[in-house]
Amino acid sequence: MARYRGPKLRITRRLGNLPGLTQKQSKKKARPGQHGTTNDGNSKKTTEYGLRLEEKQKLKFNYGLTESQLYRYIKEARRRQGITGLVLLQLLEMRLDTICFNLGLAPTIPSARQLVNHGHITVNKKMVNIPSFQCRLNDVIGIKQKHNSKNLVENNIKTKQFTDLPRHLSFNDSTLEGKVTNYCDRSDILVELDELLVIEHYSRR
């Protein structure tokens, strides 16, 4: 499955608030489709498979992953020690595009991905243009020393909607550099989902 490039508000109306996908809010309250009803009613899928599928879709759309990418993260989380659901979220939060989003360098994860793809971001003073790059502890994320790169990031920082920085990151406003100080806690995840249902969804594969 290719990366989703369709209407984003249609997805948030179906799955709820996804901060990584878009900051916009739809004026419509009903779920998309001819017979859509409100998310607050009894319109949600009641089958166990339907619930697991929606949680998986939340994760995929919020972080901008393809199906094959998400499955690879699931397999990697299973191999590592610890709680599989938390390890999965930590792997996703250590992606370079996600860290740029959490630092406020971009308003959404798709915007952060574009920022990385265009070569505006450095890791430990070296330019990295791979959004899925796995950052490590004590990595320093900075901005390429170009005028347009700095202007772009400074404008994003001025308009960022999330003022609280996750506890596993630090940011220096004067140098526009962020640092990975620890692995994220479950409470630092912005999107509301049950990651255990995602693990169960892939348990038969």
What ranges do the domains of the chain cover?
8-85+191-201, 95-182
3-state DSSP assignment of residue 154: helix
- H-helix or E-strand spanning residue 113: helix 109-117
Would you state the structure tokens that stand for residue 76, as one six-digit string?
């990697």
- H-helix or E-strand spanning residue 120: none
pLDDT of residue 112: 92
Looking at domain 8-85+191-201, its CATH class is: mainly alpha
Segment-wise mean pLDDT, segments of 10 residues, the chain, 205 residues: 69 80 71 57 66 90 91 93 92 94 90 92 93 94 88 84 82 90 89 89 80
pLDDT of residue 93: 94
Tell me the backbone φ, ψ of residue 134, rounded to 5 degrees: -85, 110
Please give the model's pTM, rounded to 2 decimal places. Answer: 0.85
Other CB atoms within 10 A of residue 105 CB: 27
Would you state the structure tokens that stand for residue 87, as one six-digit string?
């390890």
Q: For residues 74 and 67, what is the distance between their CA atoms, to the nearest angstrom?
A: 11
Is the domain spanning 95-182 CATH 3.10.290.10? The answer is yes
pLDDT of residue 1: 41
Let me know: does 31 contact 16? Beta carbons within 8 Å.
Answer: no
- 8-85+191-201 with 95-182: one CATH topology? no
- Which one-letter DSSP state was computed for residue 3? P
Q: For residues 49 and 52, what is the distance between their CA atoms, to the nearest angstrom?
A: 5
pLDDT of residue 90: 94
